[in-house]
Amino acid sequence: MDPQPEETPVDARRRGRRLLLTSVVAGVAAIALAVSLQVMRDGRARVVPYVGGPHAALPPPATEIWPEAIHQLPWLLPNGKRYHPILFLDQDRMLIKTQSKADAADLLASYDLRDGDVKDLVRLAVPLELAATDFAIGSGTMVWRTRHHGPGNYSTDIWTAPVAGGAATLRASLPLDVISTDALHASSSAFYPGSEFSGLSVSGENIYWTTPGTGLWRLPLTGGAPAAQVPGTAGYTLFSYPWVGLPSEQGRSQTGFRDLRNMETGETRTAVIPADKRSWTCSLTRCLGQMSSSYKVDDAAGQARNGSAYRLLPSMEGEGIAQDRFTVLTVYRPQHHAVAVSLVDLKTGAAGLVGRLGVDDGLAHQRIFHDTELYHYKQDGKMIIIDLRAIR
C-alpha cells in the first residue's frame, strides 16, 4: 500500500517497558491457549503462555510499551469530519483521507502531528464506488489508485498529485483485459474487484505495479507513454520496487515472497521454510507462518529468512510483516473466540495491546502490510497513531 521502507536502523533511544514474547512449547496448537504475565529480574514483563484457563491476561496497552512512538489525536477533525490516516508525508506530517459520509473519501489532506494543523491537499471528486487506495509517495508526487466496477465496465485508474497539494491527474485507466484470464482462472482465490492489481510503488520517474500472470508493469510518473510490461517478470508479484517475488500471497499452502528478486541489481533471496501445510509470508529478512491446521487456536512462528532465530508465537491470525519486523497477533479464548489484538515486534518480542473486545470500538483494526509506516486504532475516544519508524 502506501510507503515502502525496509528494515529501519535500530539504535536504542528511549527505553519504556518492554513485553517480551518467549518461545511456546511445540504441540500446544490444538489446545486452548491463554497468556499470563511474569515479571523478569529487570522489572519488565514478558508474555508467558500457559495451557488451559478460560481467560487471557492481556499485554499492556501499546501506549505504555512504545511511548516514544505514540501520538494521541482527536477522533474527529476540527470541522467534525471523520478521517483515515494513510502514511507519513515527512517526519511530522501525516497524509489523511477525510470523509463526508461513512465510506466516501472526499479530500486528501495533511495533518501536522506537532500542532494539529490540517491542510487541504487534493480534492477527490469521485463517486462513492471509486475508492482511493494503495497510496505511495516518490519524487515529490503522491500516487494512488481507484477501482471502478459496473455491468460490463471495470477498470483500475492510477492518479497522481503533487505532495505539496494541487489537482489530481489521471495517468492510466487499466481495463480488465490487461489481465491474464488464464492466471485468474488458475488462482486459488476467487476473482473480486481489485484482485487484478498488486502493490503500487514509485521509483525514480516511474510508477510500478503487478497483475496476475502478466507480472510487473511500468508507467512514467508524469505520463506521456502508456503502461508497459517489464520483460521477464511474468508470474511475479510486486513486493516494493525494486523487489518482486514468487509466488503470490494467495493460497493456504504457499509462501508469500519466499523468493525475492531485485530488479535493479539482480540479487535474489530464497527463504528456508519449515515443512508444514500452512501459509507463510516473508519480508526482506523475516518470515511469519501459521503452524496449526485445525480451526482452533492457531500458533504461529517467526524466523529469519535463513531459518534461524525461530520463535513460536501464540494465537496468531496470519497478518503480514511491516517494516520487516512488526505484525499483528490476535489473543483468543477457547473455541477460537478473539478477545484482543496486539501489535508485536518480531525483532525484540515486545507486544502492546491495540484493541480489545467490548472496549471502545472493540477489535476493529487495520491490516498490516510490509510497507506500513503507521498503525492506527481507537482508544478512549481518541485516534491513536503508532509511528513504527520511531520504535528502536
pLDDT digits (tens, 9 = 90+) for 73-84: 999 999 898 899
Least confident span in 15-24, 104-113, 247-256, 309-318: 15-24
| pLDDT number for residue 209 | 93
| pLDDT number for residue 23 | 29
> Is the pLDDT reported for residue 15 higher than 80?
no
C-alpha–C-alpha distance, residues 205 and 116, integer Å: 32
Residue 14 inside a domain? The answer is no
Domains of the chain: total: 1
| pLDDT number for residue 150 | 62
Q: What are φ and ψ of residue 62, in 5° steps?
A: -60, -30
Least confident span in 9-13, 98-102, 227-231, 258-262: 9-13
Of residues 42 and 181, more confidently modeled: 181
What is the 8-class DSSP label of residue 323?
Answer: T
Mean local confidence (pLDDT), 366-391: 90
> Is the pLDDT reported for residue 230 higher than 90?
yes
> Is the pLDDT reported for residue 175 higher than 80?
no
Residue 5 inside a domain? The answer is no
Residue 12 inside a domain? The answer is no
C-alpha–C-alpha distance, residues 226 and 248, integer Å: 25
Of residues 54 and 378, more confidently modeled: 378
Contact 144, 135 (CB under 8 A): yes
What is the 8-class DSSP label of residue 26?
Answer: T
The answer, as to whether pTM is greater than 0.75, is: yes
Mean of the per-residue pLDDT values of the chain: 75
C-alpha–C-alpha distance, residues 225 and 172, integer Å: 10
Range of the domain at 277: 20-390
Mean local confidence (pLDDT), 329-348: 80
Q: What is the pLDDT of residues 132-144, one digit of tens each?
A: 888 999 999 999 9
Residue 265 inside a domain? The answer is yes
C-alpha–C-alpha distance, residues 347 and 280, integer Å: 17
Q: What single-letter amino acid sits at 135?
A: F
Length, in residues, of the chain: 392
Strand extents, DSSP E, 188-290: 198-203, 206-211, 215-220, 228-229, 237-240, 243-246, 255-256, 259-262, 268-270, 280-282, 286-290
C-alpha–C-alpha distance, residues 108 and 95, integer Å: 7
- The model's confidence at residue 70, banded by pLDDT at 50, 70 and 90, is very high
Mean local confidence (pLDDT), 125-152: 78
In angstroms, what is the C-alpha Rg of the chain? Answer: 21
Residue 123 inside a domain? The answer is yes
| pLDDT number for residue 361 | 60
Mean local confidence (pLDDT), 79-99: 92
CATH of the domain at 36: 2.130.10
| pLDDT number for residue 52 | 29
Residue 13 inside a domain? The answer is no
Share of the chain above pLDDT 70, in %: 66
Residue 47 inside a domain? The answer is yes
Report the Cα 390 to chain-centroid distance in Å.
Answer: 17
Residue 260 inside a domain? The answer is yes
Q: What is the pLDDT of residues 178-205, one digit of tens each?
A: 444 444 443 333 333 334 677 899 999 9
